[in-house]
Amino acid sequence: MAINRSAEAMTIFAVICAGLFPVFHMGRVWLIFFNLPYPNTRGPVWPNFNSPLMWDVFAISTYFTVSLLFWYTGLIPDLASVRDRAKKKFTKFCYQIASFGWIGSAKHWQRHEALSLVLAGISTPLVLSVHTIVSFDFATSVVPGWHTTIFPPYFVAGAIFSGFAMVLSLMLIARKVLNLQQYITLEHIESMNKIIVVTGSIVGCAYLTELFTAWYSGSIYEGYAFANRALGPYWWSYWGMMTCNVISPQLFWVRPLRRNVWFTFFMSVVINIGMWFERFVIIVTSIHRDYLPSAWSYYSPTYVEISIFLGTIGLFLTAFLLFSKVAPVIAMAETKHILKISGDAQKAAAAAHHSHEPAAASFQVHQS
């Protein structure tokens, strides 16, 4: 509950940024609607529903839409709460529009709960599906280094890994700036670091499995692609990825480090860099030397590519800052469940019973 609202917001902003890249890649941005299967006057010519690229169109747009709906319906009661606290007339007016006339009636809450439960339930498999389908874009190709069946679980673990790191990077700053230490506790941070160790190790396992399979398959192309990754001209990106994603998160096995805010922040940035290296390794090293040696070259980004990349970071941060300026970054209504008066009484009783209870309780809170 401490981080869910802002993590959902980051999901939405990140999907917007991520979606820009395939759009630019298609070349003619203004014809982007050709992707949609609508009856048209060109035949009608339909998109190829058998193509993973087409699946991706559906996966990303569905992921974006469902995340947006889940985020906003959860936000409505909190926006209503801000509306009723607003002092300036204009502010109140804006929140009146944004909160859809929410008053907190019992029947509305009942429906809200039912909706949240189902949306949460269906967005969980959606997370798996969206990363699986993105990995299909690579896995169903014939490019050495991409054509591997391990990609779907590898991408899902990588997404959780980098997602948690991103949330930590931003929320540790937000926690300090907005004084949220009481809501985002050290227990939350420690739990997140545990997830980072687990998913980081899964990702590390996937890297090693890839290497093993490249050798064990006996495919010379696959073997070359991986030898080239580790020892070729892009060796620095491969070892950067290995250091940042596999080796450094293992430091989180040490409890004092898991509970150190500054170290966690530093590591979250390292992991983000590592995950960027991972994408670079997968894409660049596999295609800079493909089946046609005459096409081999050394890729370095142009100023346009660098600007687009920096632009998306700017877009993401602007969106997140706007969000944290105008909307509650903590899911208030959900948090009130556990911070109510009777909750205090229960906590006191539990503390008297078991001295370690508060820590366990806050872990459950984070899980839900």
Q: Is 7 in the site for another protein (CB under 8 A)?
A: no
Task: Using CB under 8 A, pick the residue from 101, 301, 311, 314 that binds another protein.
Answer: 101
Nearer to another protein, 124 or 307 (CB): 124
Q: Is 314 in the site for another protein (CB under 8 A)?
A: no
**Min dist. Cβ of residue 122 to another protein (A):** 5
Look up tokens 């390794």; give the residue.
Answer: 281
Nearer to another protein, 56 or 290 (CB): 56
Q: Helix, strand, or coil here: 135?
A: helix
Q: Which of residues 202-261 bind another protein (CB under 8 A)?
A: none
* Angstrom distance (rounded) from CA 219 to CA 238: 21
Structure tokens at 361: 């309780």
Helix axes 186-216, 220-231, angle to 10 degrees: 130
* Angstrom distance (rounded) from CA 213 to CA 367: 35
Q: Please, are residues 244 and 269 in contact by the beta-carbon 8 Å criterion?
A: no
Task: Using CB under 8 A, pick the residue from 208, 337, 351, 360 that binds another protein.
Answer: 337
Q: Is 176 in the site for another protein (CB under 8 A)?
A: no
Nearer to another protein, 69 or 247 (CB): 69
Q: How many residues bind another protein (CB under 8 A)?
A: 63
Task: Using CB under 8 A, pick the residue from 53, 66, 186, 197 that binds another protein.
Answer: 66
* Angstrom distance (rounded) from CA 253 to CA 249: 8
- Give which of 364, 367, 346, 2 is closest to 181, Cα–Cα: 2
- Give which of 240, 133, 245, 131 is closest to 197, Cα–Cα: 245
Binding residues for another protein (CB under 8 A): 37, 43-46, 48-50, 52, 54-55, 58-59, 61-62, 65-66, 69-70, 73, 76-77, 80-81, 83-85, 96-98, 100-115, 117-119, 122-123, 125-126, 129, 133, 136, 333-334, 336-337, 340-342
